[in-house]
Structure formats: structure tokens, C-alpha cells
Amino acid sequence: MSSTLNLSYNTDTNKLIIPEYGRNVQKMINHAVKIEQREERNKAAKVIIKVMDLINPNTRNNNSEEHGQKLWAHLHIISNFELDVDSPFKKPEKELYHSKPDEVPYPKNAIRFKHYGKIMEDMVKAASELKEGEDKEKLVKHIANLLKTSYLQWNRDSVDDKLIINQLEELSHGKLTISTDKLRDTSEIVRTFNKKKRTNNKNYSKNKSRRKYHGSF
């Protein structure tokens, strides 16, 4: 998984294929689909499977093979069957997929920081349990910047990068940290928010005018 995790930090409006895994897992899978080298795609897929497993431990059962097959099936479904990797199980056929996958139950543990959400906390836990290496470093960088983006969505005035790092360390029980130079610039994130807001307001004004015009008949 040596290629850069060039994932968008904007709020993705695309529908979540399996909502229980969250938007960040879907972004990671979309990124893996675009990796050209097969060996790197295989590495990325294995990391994502670990994250999916740790995010939803309640999906596990006594049959580890059945559980693993379900995770890999969900991986292919979320990728819209476009992820070409060496799976330990037979890839489900798109044509035969008609029904929705089994609902994944949400964990009932208390959320430490509500503005981050449970899925984000589970991603931190998943990253803290990975082996040291380049894949883990990239995942931690991605998570830390998602934490900062989420914090600014909750409180858009400003944020101290040290606060984000401290909360990352707290969520991971001291297992994860990152340097401030690997965090996105606050002004860049705020500009993205403002640009999105202007676009939404512009679309709303157009739709409002259209409704008014049609309503005159």
C-alpha cells in the first residue's frame, strides 16, 4: 500500500453502500480500486479487512471462515465489484447479488468524543492494533486529519493541532501519535468548508427560483 492515500476530506454525498462500515471505509476501498499494482492492491485489501473486522466485532461468530467470507464479500460489494484482488474466498457475482447484506449491529459502547463519532473511534482502535510499518503510518495520518476536519466541522473558529494530537493519543490509549507537520493547514480546511457552503447556497437559490417559477402556473 505504498501509493499515497489521496482521499478527499470533503463530506461525500455519495450513498453509503453498507452504512454500518462508515464513509471512511468506503473511501479506503475506493482508493484501493485505483491502485494499479496488484500486489499493492492486495496489501491494501488486507488492511481494510482488518479495519472492517475491528470496527464491527459483533459480526463475528464461532465460524471464523464464514465470518471472513462475509467480510470479503462486503469488501467486494462496497467496491461495486470493481476491486480486483486475490481474495481467499470466491468473489460474489454481481449479477446474483440482489438482496442487501445482513445488517451489522452497532456497538453500544459510550462515545468518548461525540463530535468524532463511534466509527472514528473504532478506526483509531483498528489502527492502534496494526503492525508498525508504512501502511500504519499512512492510516494514522489519514485518521488524524479526519479528526481535525471533524473537529472544525463541530467548531469552525479554530483548532490547536496539539489538541488533535492529544485526543488521538487519548483515543488510542497512547498507542498512536503524529507530528504537527503531517496535519492539514486549518485555513485550507476552512476554505473547503466555505467553498462547499457557497456551492450549496447557490444550488438552493437555483432550486428555489425554479420552484417559484413552476408554481406560478
Please give the Cα distance from 59 to 104 (Å, whole number): 6
Q: How confident is the model at residue 190 (pLDDT cuts 50, 70, 90)?
A: confident
**Cα distance between residue 31 and residue 139, in whole Å:** 12
pTM comes to 0.46
Q: Which residue has the higher pLDDT, 97 or 140?
A: 140
- Mean pLDDT of the region 128-138: 91
Q: Based on the number of CB atoms within 10 Å of its own CB, is 93 exposed (0-12), middle (13-18) or buried (19 or more)?
A: exposed
Q: If you average pLDDT over residues 26-39, what whole number do you get?
A: 93
* Residue 30: other Cβ atoms inside 10 A: 18
pLDDT at 159: 86
**Residue 125: count of CB within 10 angstroms of its CB:** 18
Instruction: State yes or no: pLDDT of 43 exceeds 70.
Output: yes
Q: What is the mean pLDDT of residues 139-161?
A: 86
Rounded CA gap, 189 and 100, in Å? Answer: 35
**Mean pLDDT on 50-61:** 78
Q: Three cell numbers at 174?
A: 497512547
Average pLDDT over residues 117-131: 88
The whole-chain average pLDDT of the chain stands at: 80
Question: For 11-15, 27-31, 109-113, which range has the lowest pLDDT when averaged over its residues?
Answer: 11-15
Q: Which residue has the higher pLDDT, 210 or 48?
A: 48
> Does residue 83 surpass a pLDDT of 80?
yes
> In this model, does residue 58 exceed pLDDT 50?
yes
189 pLDDT more than 70: yes
- Distance, CA of 81 to CA of 45 (rounded, Å): 13
pLDDT of residue 119: 83
- What pLDDT shows up at residue 140? 93
pLDDT of 195 over the 60 cut:
yes
Q: What is the pLDDT of residue 19?
A: 87
The residue that leads in pLDDT, 76 or 115, is: 76
Taking a C-beta distance cutoff of 8 angstroms, is the pair 104, 20 a contact?
yes
